[in-house]
Amino acid sequence: MRHRHLGTATLALGLVVLTDVLRVFLPSVITIFGQAASTPAELLGAFALGWFVLALAAPPLVRLVGSRVVGVVAVALLGAARLALTAGPGGWAQLWLASAGLLAGLVWLAATAARGERAVPGLALGLAAAALGHVLVGTYDLVWRGSWAAWVAGGATVAALLAGEVLLARRRGESTPVPHVRAWLLTGPALVLGGMVALSPAVVSTATSFWFGEAGTASTPLFAFAPLGVAVALLLLAALAPPRPRARLVWPALLLAGALLFGYGPPSLLAVAVLLSAAGLGGCLALADGAAGPTARAASRRGYAVVGGMLVFAVVSVLYYAAYDLGYPNGWLPALVAVLTGLIALEGRLRPRPAAPATEESVAPAAVSTARESRAFARLPAVPIAALATLTAFAAAVLHEPWPMATNRPGPPEQVRVVAYNIRMGFGMDGRFDLTALERAVRGADVVVLSEVDRGWLLNGGHDTLHLLSDRLGLPYVFAPAADALWGDAVLSRWLVGRARTRVLPAVGAPTGAQALGVTVDFSEGVRLAVVSTHLQPPPGADPVVQARAVADFATEYADGLPLVVAGDFNTEPGDPAFAALTDAGLVDAFAAARPLPTSPADDPREQIDHVFVSPDLVASEAVAMPGTASDHLPVAVTLTLPGGAS
């Protein structure tokens, strides 16, 4: 059969491009349409879901115009949107481009499904290729960089995708088995489970950091991305190898176990969740693979199936992340998707189908019987492909092995420059992920305290912002989860840090979790500094005074007589009860001499909510809020003279 794998390769390339667009669309909805959480969560969710609902018009369009024409036009629009995003428009232009690209991608998927292409190999290879591409760039997508390399790589991918689609549209007279509807229905669930846990490089790098302790690690771990190679290999081997009937219940069980571990397990077992989910997802895809007899409405059913599956992707994504605005439990959602995936994969496998009456149509060359399903499709060499993917992931791990950290400077310093910054997951006021601007904002600091650190949320494009920033600055870090294992607060330091401790703060009705992270900076010669990083989350319409008292109690207990710094986004202003709770505990406002010092919003700062408090034995000077729009907050900096350092 000519071009027997052309459809598979084109589907895989298309999923890579569509994933690139999704990594822009999802955070753009939050940062641009959401306007720093000022847009109601319900309206924000409706906007995001609306594009997926609109795609339900694609199957009738395909039936009216034809899958070949619609497929070529849709993939051209998808590729054009992807390349236009590389130009870095930012703002509403970025949001509309990403939305248009998403809609074009959904229409293309519907056309591809209606044409009768085989879903599972292309879906598995597309998921694997998107993950490997993400790890090769260290989770800092080319679409955000805008360099010549980004244009070349993006242009080559889009050109190959368009060429494949044109060749498929010109293909005539080839008899191809018709895939089951259930295989296309799994597209959305596979994308959400793969992006959320099973094939996320950022989740893998975060998981390895938890091997070094409860509060993350005191340095970027070596070969942080290496376990992704194992995850990709497990998915491909399970998805592309012939399914074993006796093992059909094993794959849904593994997928469910991984999803439950992701939702409810400790951070130290996050890597196990990744591997279980990857193997289980691959096996479920294999179970869904197979051929079905053509019917008059099969093309439309497949089109609705793939769009419906992507609607599942949208609903689950919105519900999972809206929990951090609305305050309901969300750990069950990945498990629910795993159950749904398992049921779809097993449909028709656990119960025998009634034998169809023998007719001329049922034995026509285009029909494929159930007994011949395992031979209906040309199989891909699973082992060589999995081995190549594994080598690629391990090569990327070597490529992104961290530089030596700038620790153990000789002798204790007289002064320490401290910067506190709410980085909003790395996204600026224009909605772009600008790592260079983040680095510029904190470079030169001796101790950096970060809030709203994202280490792999699918909603934000799956970046490990902390890993990226730590490698760029050459500073080791300690990370503490707050909302979940992938979102929280961190401390970076030019000197070795240790004695990391965390304390969960009372929720008091606030939807997003909050914590306090304590670390000790060791300047050598017995000189040490206690640093506490926190991000208070006030309940709706109230002051976070209860959390402020908890932070003050934890900080003074943790410092135990050492010079102390407490910094972060406190969501309270001077004169408020929470602010007074910190100063009443004996802490000093390090910015008192520079007030007023507004820090939010970054493009028109009016609120003083980012602070640094110190113990009385530290002398604060040169306090400033540095201008910039790399986040919706301004970074604040202060120079601290250590006890005895002025003499």
Q: Is beta strand 610-614 parallel, antiparallel or unpaired with respect to 588-589?
A: antiparallel
Per DSSP, the three-state class of 456 is coil
| Residue 547 near residue 584, CB atoms below 8 Å | no
Q: Annotate 266-284 with b (16+ C-beta within 10 A) or e (fewer).
A: ebebbbbbbbbbbbbbbbb
Beta bridge partners of 418: 447, 638
What is the reported pLDDT for 349? 59
* Domain 6-349+376-399 annotated CATH 3.30.70: no
The pLDDT tens digits of the residues spanning 42-86 come to 888 899 999 999 999 999 999 999 999 999 999 999 999 999 999
Please report, as a single letter, which amino acid is at residue 573.
E
Please report, as a single letter, which amino acid is at residue 86.
T
Within 13 Å and on the Cβ side, how many CA atoms surround 417? 11
Structure tokens at 330: 């969300």
- Please list the rounded mean pLDDT of every run of 10 residues in the chain (647 residues): 75 97 95 79 90 96 94 97 93 96 98 89 94 90 89 95 93 61 94 96 90 65 80 91 80 97 93 96 90 64 94 95 87 96 82 46 37 49 72 68 55 88 95 93 95 94 92 90 92 90 90 92 87 92 92 97 97 96 97 96 95 97 95 96 67
What is the reported pLDDT for 296? 46
Sheet holding 415-422, edge to edge: 477-484, 487-493, 447-454, 415-422, 636-641, 619-625
What is the reported pLDDT for 222? 65
Q: Tabulate helix, strand, coil % of the chain (nearest 5).
A: 55, 15, 35
- Nearest alpha-carbon partner for 114 in 161, 179, 56: 179
- Give the Cα separation of 131 and 322 in Å (integer): 25
CATH 3.60.10.10 residue ranges for the chain: 415-641
- Give the Cα separation of 426 and 483 in Å (integer): 17
- Give the Cα separation of 429 and 31 in Å (integer): 7
- Nearest alpha-carbon partner for 77 in 161, 170, 152: 161
- Angle, to 10 degrees, between the axis of helix 201-209 and the axis of helix 120-136? 60
Structure tokens at 492: 């970076």
Structure tokens at 640: 């601290």
Sheet holding 588-589, edge to edge: 497-504, 515-522, 528-535, 564-569, 610-614, 588-589
What is the reported pLDDT for 39? 77
Peptide bond into 179 cis (omega under 30): no
Per DSSP, the three-state class of 405 is coil
- Nearest alpha-carbon partner for 123 in 23, 203, 7: 7
What's the chain's length in residues?
Answer: 647
- Rounded to whole angstroms, the maximal C-alpha distance in the chain is 100
Q: Is 489 left (phi over 0), alpha (psi -120 to 50) or beta?
A: beta
- Give the Cα separation of 234 and 283 in Å (integer): 9
In degrees to the nearest 10, what's the CA dihedral of 248, 252, 253, 259? 160
Q: Helix H segments across 195-331?
A: 201-209, 226-240, 250-264, 270-288, 298-326
Please report, as a single letter, which amino acid is at residue 308.
G
Question: What is the value of pTM for the model shown?
Answer: 0.91
Q: Is beta strand 528-535 parallel, antiparallel or unpaired with respect to 564-569?
A: parallel
End-to-end CA distance of the chain: 84
- Give the Cα separation of 481 and 282 in Å (integer): 29
What is the reported pLDDT for 218? 60
Q: Residue 590, Cβ neighbours under 10 Å: how many?
A: 26
- Give the Cα separation of 282 and 279 in Å (integer): 5
- Give the Cα separation of 186 and 181 in Å (integer): 9
Within 13 Å and on the Cβ side, how many CA atoms surround 27? 27
Q: Estimate to the nearest angstrom the gap between the alpha carbon of 373 and the chain centroid.
A: 36
| Residue 206 near residue 464, CB atoms below 8 Å | yes
What is the reported pLDDT for 510? 81
The pLDDT tens digits of the residues spanning 85-130 come to 999 889 999 999 999 999 999 999 999 999 888 899 999 999 999 9
What is the reported pLDDT for 483? 87
CATH code of the domain made up of 415-641: 3.60.10.10
- Give the Cα separation of 533 and 477 in Å (integer): 12
What is the reported pLDDT for 219? 61
- Angle, to 10 degrees, between the axis of helix 270-288 and the axis of helix 250-264? 150
The pLDDT tens digits of the residues spanning 174-185 come to 545 566 788 999
- Give the Cα separation of 456 and 425 in Å (integer): 10
CATH 1.20.1250 residue ranges for the chain: 6-349+376-399
